[in-house]
Chains A and B, each alone.
With several copies, the nearest count.
Chain A
């Protein structure tokens, strides 16, 4: 069970800020593929991975990173703070 979070327009496309996902996905990309297979709104949100960033347990990471032991995955567009 992984906590999956969405921010900014990713959140808007998915339609919710977070959800608990039952998954055996080995990597972030595997998780993305599982989600995209579910419903069109996931396909819309994950259409272009180069426009997205991912954080694992609140640390910026990569889409090919393993999910082993990870409790929280967050997807969002490039940050615009400051």
Chain B
């Protein structure tokens, strides 16, 4: 299990090329990468987080995924600080014996990171700055797990 909360950019390639190496019973690896879109003339986004609680919350979510889907490995990287359109915000990766578990666990991780990890996004655009509001559908997504 590998969890990183950082301001620095990351290379999905470098991360995935090393992911799950060393385990002999991996048949499926799924990765998700979230990227800043330039909707509505967004110029930049600032992500604030709660140091300490962030690592703790992600650890809890990832541990639950590891156990529930018997993952061979699991990784979460989430950036904070200032990002611009095209920048990678975060990624998750899951490794398991079969594809269904790897897909499900990755979606579970994403759903929980969206509404249970203490990050807040502020968007800066032509009309000023605004905190991104949580979506009901993100909260609803948790009910399927």
Contact = CB atoms under 8 A, between A and B. Distances in A.
A79 B115 contact: yes
Provide the main secondary structure of the chain B interface: mixed
A65 B50 CA distance: 20
**Most chain A CB inside 10 Å of its own CB: which residue of B53, B114, B131:** B53
A8 interface: yes
Contacts of A63: none
A38 B110 CA distance: 40
A16 to B, nearest CB: 14
B139 to A, nearest CB: 8
Contacts of B15: none
A60 B50 contact: no
Interface in A37-82: 55, 58-60, 74, 76-82
Interface residues of A, number: 17
Given A58-B52, A80-B133, A81-B78, A7 B114 contact: no
Contacts of B117: 79, 81-82
A81 B50 contact: no
Nearest to A74: B50
B53 A74 contact: yes
Contacts of B113: 81-82
A5 interface: yes
B114 A8 contact: no
A58 B53 contact: yes
B97 interface: no
Contact of A77 (B53, B57, B120): B120
B126 to A, nearest CB: 20
Contact of A80 (B52, B56, B119): B119
Contacts of B50: 5, 7, 55, 58, 74, 76
